[in-house]
Amino acid sequence: MPVIPAAAPQVWLESEPVSLPYDRSYEDGRWDPQVVLHTGGSTGIPKPVVVRQECFTIFDGLRNGPEFHDTISAFAHLFMVKTLSIPMPEFHVAGVALVINAGIFYGATLVYGVADGPLSADLAILSLVHSGADAATLPPSVVEKMSLTEVGISVLAGLDIVAFGVGSLAPAAGGMLVESRVALDMGAEFMPAEVNLEAYEMVLRNDDENDPGRKAFFYNLPEKTEWRTGNLYEPHPTLPNHWRYIGRADNIIVFSNCEKLNSVTIEEAVQGHKAVKGAIVVGDQRFQPALNVEPVEIPANNVAAEALLQDVLSLVQEVNKATVAHGRISRDMIVL
């Protein structure tokens, strides 16, 4: 692949624009390269992936999708945005998609975050307050941290759309934000394929290698006939034709007695505690599970540590009531 070093920003700003018309027809250009991205391994061995023009045509057309249960699609919401805050860099697939779709196709003004440090809840708040953005796309972890303060909730509630992706939002944080009238939009639509009686995996299938239709993935990897996302869902208990995310296909813990446990529910419940930064359930090939808890701040002394553990234990005990017997976590199996 030919490589051309990019000039300094000032050179770009001072240069005269040159007209480069694109005169290929839709049918001739749909398989043309748009951008080349490097995978992080989620599609197999890390390698360059050529993203085709048709992928962005599909994204652009999604704004015209039909309503579903009186709700318009996530892309139709995005089309209404005037100023969008995006923390993703342009070398990230989400950044590329947002720049091209929101910035070019949809005509939104794009707001970038602070470039001299990692994104945090405080930086996101500053950016949103001073930019005047009416929508934002944020990592779930940042949304959760913003939900812990009145200022953060107020800023999120002032936006028309708060979109998140790449991971799931803790149910406690999501529920609190919805009650505070924050317009959350996960933006995921899926066709589940049955894996077992309890969970369904999102599986994409390509029936025509010459015309994948609206399945953008297969324009990038045309040699694939099926793509198993590893995302697991269950039918929503109260909303017909809706699906609720419950974890990953590879999040299942298999104990030494061959019993199994999906740890997501336990981890999300504990991560909903305002003093907890992260939680992970372990126990693969062991007899019973254990819970590792990462606090937001290291306890000042043993008394503070024990108080936090007792708080976490009360959450665990509630989750234990709905957990299979072999997956219940006892106090002596919880550590900071």
Decide if 122 is inside a domain.
yes
CA 319 from chain centre, in angstroms, equals 24
Segment 151-206, tens digit of pLDDT: 999 999 999 888 886 566 777 777 778 787 776 654 443 444 444 457 888 888 88
Q: End-to-end CA distance of the chain, in Å?
A: 49
Decide if 309 is inside a domain.
yes
pLDDT of 229 higher than 90:
no
Decide if 215 is inside a domain.
no
The domain that contains 135 carries what CATH number?
A: 3.40.50.980
Asked if 144 and 169 touch (Cβ cutoff 8 Å), the reply is yes
Q: What are the C-alpha distances in Å from 98 to residues 142, 159, 174, 320?
A: 19, 17, 23, 41
Q: Which two tokens stand for residue 5?
A: 């070093």
Decide if 33 is inside a domain.
no
Report the candidate in 67, 135, 125 with the shortest Cα–Cα distance to residue 101. Answer: 135
**Three-state DSSP class for residue 232:** strand
Segment 102-145, tens digit of pLDDT: 888 888 999 987 777 778 889 999 999 999 899 998 887 788 88
Residue 168 and residue 80 in one domain: yes
pTM (2 d.p.)? 0.62
Query: Of the candidates 156, 185, 214, which is a domain's last residue?
Result: 185
**In this predicted model, which residue has the larger pLDDT, 169 or 17?**
17
Query: Of the candidates 154, 185, 216, which is a domain's last residue?
Result: 185
Decide if 271 is inside a domain.
yes
Q: How many domains does the chain have?
A: 2
Segment 65-96, tens digit of pLDDT: 788 777 777 778 777 889 999 887 777 778 88
Residue-range definition of the domain harbouring residue 71: 65-185
Q: Give me the sign of the Cα torsion angle 190, 193, 199, 201.
A: negative
Segment 245-284, tens digit of pLDDT: 776 676 677 664 546 687 888 888 888 888 888 898 988 6
